[in-house]
A and B are shown apart, each in its own frame.
Chain A
Amino acid sequence: MIKFIDFLNILLPFFYVITFGIYSYDFMKGKKELANSKRLFLFITLLFHAIYLITRTIYFGHPPITNVFEIFTVLAFAVSFSYFVLELVTDIRGTGPFIIIISILFQIISTIEIEHIVAVKDVLKSNLLGVHVFSALVGYSGITISAVYGFLYLMLYKEIKLNQFGLIFNRLPSLEILEKLSFSSAIIGFVLLTIAIIIGIIWLPQAFPDFSYADPKLIGTSIVWILYGIGILSKLLGKWRGKKVVILSIVGFIIAILSTMLTNFLSLSFHSFY
């Protein structure tokens, strides 16, 4: 089974790159005939990724959430899976390459660095940890997608304002739709991050003796959470719209990424498992 897991681990980046290639080709050429085949290819990629995650969980006896590179592969899956659901629900197909490229980055890093860890600390086998990490990851994929749509919104806004009617103008959905997609993803991300934070605040002090409220990850996530909270509230109250909200979403995403990198690579906190 381990050989199969290794084989899938190497195969997954190729699957994502090929899917990205098909989505990008379709974006550049705008050919109608690829509209369904690219979706099918994304589905196949996700299917193989799901098989990889399941076999890994069975073989190692714990879900792949115990170190940053395991988390990266789950994040790669979560981002593309969220996009797949979004594409099915909204039938907006022109934005795939911008999302899938994020999965490629996460998956390549994970494929190169991931190790076979059988023995993990008991604390990391807790079900509450599973819920905490799962909601945090889906929350992060929500804000990732929100930031990508926010970025696309800004690009299209600029093109339209400057009378540059190029590929972005021709292929992307309307500004209003991009804004809605960015906002809906932000809400999903915010709700799930809230759940992750609540579980974290209740459970982490009991589980980790070295728990500290000054933990950089905790501070980073809290800042992200507050930023998104302000943005969502302002938008709902009708005070902010368009550019302001999407810029906030992008800033939130950058802070989230920075805090993750700082926490995990500089090994400054209990949140760093690797």
Chain B
Amino acid sequence: MNLLAVSINHHTAPVELREALYLGIEDIKNLAGEAKGKLFSEGLVLCTCNRTEFYGIPVDKNLSYFDVQNFVIEKKATHKINPEHFQSFMSREAVKHLFRVITGIDSLLIGDNQIFKQVKDSFIVSEEMGFSGFLMKRVFDAATIVGKRSITETEIGEGAVTVSYAAVQLIEKILSTLNKKSALVIGAGETGEIAAKHLQDRGIGTLAITNRTIEKAEKLAQSLKSKIIPFSNFKEHLHEYDIVISATSAPDLILTKDDVKKAMKKRNSASLVLMDIAIPRDIDPETKNLDYVFYHDIDSLNIIVEQNLSKRKSEIPKVEKIIEEELDNFFNWYNSLQAAPTIKNLRDYFETVRAEEVGKNKNKFSSDDQEKLEIVTKRIINKILHHPTIELRKSAESGDNGPESATRLGVLRELFGIDNHKPDEEKK
């Protein structure tokens, strides 16, 4: 299979270049449109924060991945891209690379949960553009199987690997039924926003935002449909919340041990979770010495993140095993697209159907007629298969195993369900 893959990713290129190469949906459509016919007969363009990749079946046998690299360099001439920024793959290695990408083991954040959907979305775009043909669809189907197997059979995507998600994981180890709990997010910056979204995804009962600049708080509160507490008097409301996540850029502490002590008194010592994900810290670390106050800062959350990352790393060999298994399956299927085995399988299939039907009905005929029945039905099958066999032999003799021939054979196998319906002797 002459699938080509070219990738610029976090292994090969600095973040500035990856940012510059980031492609929006319209860019992807334009590039795919240009690549179609010129470079590839069918293909896929994948772009995430950390990778921009091109996959495709070349239109010309002589086309190599250098041509694809040149195509990218030409299109993004304003950026200083050179050949060292590329990873290039061919045939089995190209399929393997896609499998590695979809499982997240090639991601910057190992086991990244987003990548599966991102690859899926890229295929949808490719299909919409008419850029995804018979072979690419099979590659995608195989990649989907690999992605799903790695999720269900391994723990590659388990556990929080970002600080804000680790905060939510920790909260869930202290409190249950989050839908009956209330949370206050201090700081409406990016970190605060992510934490607030995670809480909302987990079904938090009441969510409130407070921020020194009220406009920013209002904007975030509007998008999350949450309450706003004025920053000037948020301490007076502290006792109303079971969870406080602080992520401001304040240079000094904004919550002292005394503030928390007062709140705990009003709460009648009901558990209070304080997540300080700001640098420098917003909440006095001494609060952790108060009973039923669960104070955690970036350092303690990083312990969880590191533990989960190392657990995910230990799952990589299992994922690689799945990848190898599915690569074998995929190439077994692909190799079956040779003309000679297809002719044999097609004839075997027809013969099986014929023999089954004759076997079921031959008692309805006299013993003399039974022999004739065999001869007549065999003749019918031979006549039906004569023309397709001639055409397939032509393919076999010309040694043409290009994408068109593979597609033709693949469609034939699919139409007759040959891959699913194997003759008895093969089953044995």
- Residues of A that sit less than 8 Å from B by CB: 156, 160-161, 163, 165, 169, 172-177, 180, 238, 241-243
Select one of B270, B300, B304 contacting A241, CB under 8 A. Answer: B270
Choose, from B167-175, B275-283, B338-346, the stretch at the interface: B167-175
Q: Which residues of B in the span 238-271 have a Cβ within 8 Å of any Cβ on A?
A: 268-271
Contacts of B269 in A (CB 8 A): 241-242
Is B307 positioned at the interface, with any CB of A under 8 Å from its CB? yes
> Would you call B268 and A175 a contact (CB within 8 A)?
no
- Of the listed residues A172, A176, A241, the one surrounded by the most CB atoms of chain B closer than 10 A to its CB is A176
> Would you call A176 and B175 a contact (CB within 8 A)?
yes
Residue pairs across A and B with Cβ atoms less than 8 A apart, 30 shown, are A156-B173, A160-B170, A160-B173, A160-B174, A160-B294, A161-B288, A161-B294, A163-B296, A163-B299, A163-B300, A165-B304, A169-B173, A172-B173, A174-B175, A175-B173, A175-B174, A175-B175, A175-B271, A176-B174, A176-B175, A176-B176, A176-B271, A180-B176, A238-B268, A241-B268, A241-B269, A241-B270, A242-B269, A242-B291, A243-B291
A243 to B271 alpha-carbon distance, docked (Å): 11
> Would you call B173 and A242 a contact (CB within 8 A)?
no
Contacts of A169 in B (CB 8 A): 173
Is B63 positioned at the interface, with any CB of A under 8 Å from its CB? no
Contacts of B303 in A (CB 8 A): 163, 165
Is B66 positioned at the interface, with any CB of A under 8 Å from its CB? no
> Would you call A174 and B288 a contact (CB within 8 A)?
no
Contact count band on B: 20 to 34
A160 to B291 alpha-carbon distance, docked (Å): 12
Is B292 positioned at the interface, with any CB of A under 8 Å from its CB? yes
Minimum Cβ distance to chain B for residue A243 (Å): 7
Nearest A-chain residue to B291, judged by Cβ:
A243
> Would you call A173 and B176 a contact (CB within 8 A)?
yes
Known: A176-B174, A241-B269, A242-B292. 16 other contacts (CB 8 A): A156-B173, A160-B173, A160-B174, A161-B288, A172-B173, A175-B173, A175-B174, A175-B271, A176-B175, A176-B176, A176-B177, A176-B271, A180-B176, A241-B270, A241-B292, A242-B269
Q: Which residues of B in the span 304-348 have a Cβ within 8 Å of any Cβ on A?
A: 304, 307
A177 to B173 alpha-carbon distance, docked (Å): 9
Minimum Cβ distance to chain A for residue B155 (Å): 8
Select one of B176, B294, B296, B299 contacting A177, CB under 8 A. Answer: B176
> Would you call A174 and B173 a contact (CB within 8 A)?
yes
Contacts of B296 in A (CB 8 A): 163
Contacts of B174 in A (CB 8 A): 160, 174-176
A-B Cβ contacts below 8 A, count? 44
- Residues of B that sit less than 8 Å from A by CB: 170, 172-177, 268-271, 288, 291-292, 294, 296, 299-300, 303-304, 307
Contacts of A180 in B (CB 8 A): 176
Minimum Cβ distance to chain B for residue A168 (Å): 10
Minimum Cβ distance to chain B for residue A165 (Å): 5
A180 to B300 alpha-carbon distance, docked (Å): 27
Minimum Cβ distance to chain A for residue B198 (Å): 16
A48 to B246 alpha-carbon distance, docked (Å): 55
A5 to B374 alpha-carbon distance, docked (Å): 69
Contacts of B175 in A (CB 8 A): 174-176
Which 3 A-B pairs give the minimum distances between C-beta atoms? A163-B300, A176-B176, A174-B176
- Of the listed residues A180, A238, A241, A243, the one surrounded by the most CB atoms of chain B closer than 10 A to its CB is A241
Minimum Cβ distance to chain B for residue A114 (Å): 41
Nearest A-chain residue to B304, judged by Cβ:
A165
Contacts of B291 in A (CB 8 A): 242-243
Contacts of B299 in A (CB 8 A): 163
Contacts of B170 in A (CB 8 A): 160
Minimum Cβ distance to chain A for residue B314 (Å): 12
A184 to B118 alpha-carbon distance, docked (Å): 46
Contacts of A163 in B (CB 8 A): 296, 299-300, 303
Nearest B-chain residue to A241, judged by Cβ:
B269
A156 to B270 alpha-carbon distance, docked (Å): 17
Nearest B-chain residue to A30, judged by Cβ:
B155
A160 to B172 alpha-carbon distance, docked (Å): 12
Contacts of B172 in A (CB 8 A): 174
Minimum Cβ distance to chain B for residue A161 (Å): 7
- Of the listed residues B173, B268, B303, the one surrounded by the most CB atoms of chain A closer than 10 A to its CB is B173
Contacts of B292 in A (CB 8 A): 241-243
A243 to B293 alpha-carbon distance, docked (Å): 12
Nearest A-chain residue to B173, judged by Cβ:
A174
A250 to B264 alpha-carbon distance, docked (Å): 26
Minimum Cβ distance to chain B for residue A69 (Å): 40
Minimum Cβ distance to chain B for residue A267 (Å): 44
Contacts of A160 in B (CB 8 A): 170, 173-174, 294
Contacts of A242 in B (CB 8 A): 269, 271, 291-292
A174 to B173 alpha-carbon distance, docked (Å): 4
Minimum Cβ distance to chain A for residue B239 (Å): 14
